[in-house]
C-alpha cells in the first residue's frame, strides 16, 4: 500500500507503560527484574538466572545467541504475538556477550577485532540491531535490564575528573539500547538496607539516565506501580498544556515492519507492464525502464531480482501506478 500523508492524524501520548521501551540498569537485587515482570503479558528472556524467586513469571532460558535467534523467529508468529505483549531482556549485558561469541564462532575468530578494520564490530552491531530493534518493530513493548559500572570522565570545560555511573555495556552497544529507550533509569540503594530508588533524570552529571517525558520526577522508589504513576502524572501534566487533546489510555503499538510477497509482486509487475506495453510499447517501454533502473541500478531488470529485493519491486509498482496508469 502506498503512503498517503493526508491520512495522518495527530499523535497521542499513551498513559499505558506497556507501549514504551524501557531500559533499567543497576546493581543486583535492586528490584529491576521484579519491576519488569509486573507488566501484563510479559515474557522474560533469561540470559541470566535472576527469576528464581519470582513466582508465576513466564521465562525462556537462553544459553546461546543461536537460541535467541530461534526465539526471535517464534516471536514473529501471530499466535505468539497474541499471547505476549512485552519482552523482558535480562540482562542485555550477557545478551551482548553471547552475540559477540556467535559472531566470532560464525567467522572462525577468537575476538571481534581479529577481522580487522572494524568489520567484526560492524557484524556484531548489525546482528544485535536486527534482533532487538526487530522486537520493537514487531509491536512488542521491550524492557531491557542491565548492570552498571563507574567510569572516570574529564569535564572538558573545567578539566576536572568526576565519577559517572552508566550501563556496563560497551559504548557502541550502550548507545544503541539507550537510544531506543523512552524510559532510561538507574536502580540503586542510597544506603544499605534502604528501599531501592530509580533515578530517571539527573542534574548533577554523575548518573547516565533520561526520559522522553518532560515532567518526569528525578527519582522514585523502585516499583512498577510507582513508575506507572510517575509516567502517567508526567503525561497528564504535559497534556494539560494542550487541553488534553493528545493523550490516550490506549496502548501505543509500534508500527510493524511490512513483509512483501515476492511472487505476488512479480506477477503484479508482469500484469501492469503487459497492460502498458499493449497500449503503446514505444511510449511506455522507456518510462518503465527508467523507473526500474532508478531503484535497481543502471541496466538491471526486475527479472534478475531476488526475494530479498521484494520491497524494491513494490516501490517500482507503486511509481508505475502513480505515474503511468
Domain ranges of the chain: 11-248, 262-324
d(CA 199, CA 183): 11
In this prediction, residues 220-237 reach a mean pLDDT of 89
Asked whether the beta carbons of 146 and 167 are under 8 A apart, the reply is yes
d(CA 322, CA 325): 6
Per-residue pLDDT tens over the stretch 314-323: 999 999 999 9
Superfamily of domain 11-248: P-loop containing nucleotide triphosphate hydrolases (3.40.50.300)
Evaluate if residue 39 carries a pLDDT over 90: no
Q: Match 557502541 to its residue by C-alpha cell.
A: 172
Residue 305 pLDDT: 93
Per-residue pLDDT tens over the stretch 153-201: 888 888 888 899 999 988 878 887 888 888 999 999 988 878 899 999 9
Is the model more confident about 61 or about 177?
Answer: 61
> How many percent of the chain have pLDDT more than 70?
91
> What's the pTM?
0.72
Long-range contacts of 269-276 (CB under 8 A, 24+ apart): 269/302, 269/313, 269/316, 269/317, 272/317, 272/320, 272/321, 272/325, 273/320, 276/320, 276/324, 276/325
* Burial class of 218 by CB neighbour count within 10 A (0 to 12, 13 to 18, 19+): middle
Amino acid at each position: 500500500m502506498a503512503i498517503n500523508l493526508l491520512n495522518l492524524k495527530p499523535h497521542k501520548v499513551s498513559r499505558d507503560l506497556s507501549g514504551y521501551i524501557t531500559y533499567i540498569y543497576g546493581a543486583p537485587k535492586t528490584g529491576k527484574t521484579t519491576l519488569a515482570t509486573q507488566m501484563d503479558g510479559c515474557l522474560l528472556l533469561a540470559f541470566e538466572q535472576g527469576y528464581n524467586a519470582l513466582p508465576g513469571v513466564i521465562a525462556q532460558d537462553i544459553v546461546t545467541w543461536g537460541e535467541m535467534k530461534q526465539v526471535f523467529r517464534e516471536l514473529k508468529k501471530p499466535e505468539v504475538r497474541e499471547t505476549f505483549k512485552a519482552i523482558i531482556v535480562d540482562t542485555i549485558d550477557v545478551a551482548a556477550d553471547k552475540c559477540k561469541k556467535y559472531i566470532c564462532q560464525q567467522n572462525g575468530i577468537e575476538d571481534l577485532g581479529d577481522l580487522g578494520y572494524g568489520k567484526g564490530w560492524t557484524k556484531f552491531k548489525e546482528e544485535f540491531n536486527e534482533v532487538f530493534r526487530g522486537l520493537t518493530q514487531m509491536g512488542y513493548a521491550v524492557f531491557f535490564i542491565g548492570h552498571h559500572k563507574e567510569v572516570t570522565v574529564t569535564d572538558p570545560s573545567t578539566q576536572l575528573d568526576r565519577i559517572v555511573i552508566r550501563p556496563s555495556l560497551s559504548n557502541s552497544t550502550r548507545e544503541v539500547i539507550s537510544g531506543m529507550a523512552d524510559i532510561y533509569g538507574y536502580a540503586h540503594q542510597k544506603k544499605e538496607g534502604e528501599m531501592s530508588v530509580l533515578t530517571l533524570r539527573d542534574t548533577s552529571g554523575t548518573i547516565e539516565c533520561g526520559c522522553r517525558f518532560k515532567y518526569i520526577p528525578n527519582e522514585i522508589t523502585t516499583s512498577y506501580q510507582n513508575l506507572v504513576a510517575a509516567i502517567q502524572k508526567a503525561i497528564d501534566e504535559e497534556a494539560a498544556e494542550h487541553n488534553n487533546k493528545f493523550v490516550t489510555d490506549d496502548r501505543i503499538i509500534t508500527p510493524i515492519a511490512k513483509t512483501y510477497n515476492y511472487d505476488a509482486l512479480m506477477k503484479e509487475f508482469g500484469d501492469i507492464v503487459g497492460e502498458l506495453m499493449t497500449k503503446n510499447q514505444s511510449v511506455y517501454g522507456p518510462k518503465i525502464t527508467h523507473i526500474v533502473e532508478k531503484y535497481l541500478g543502471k541496466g538491471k531488470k526486475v527479472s534478475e531480482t531476488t526475494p530479498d529485493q521484494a520491497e524494491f519491486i513494490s516501490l517500482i509498482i507503486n511509481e508505475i501506478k502513480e505515474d503511468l496508469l
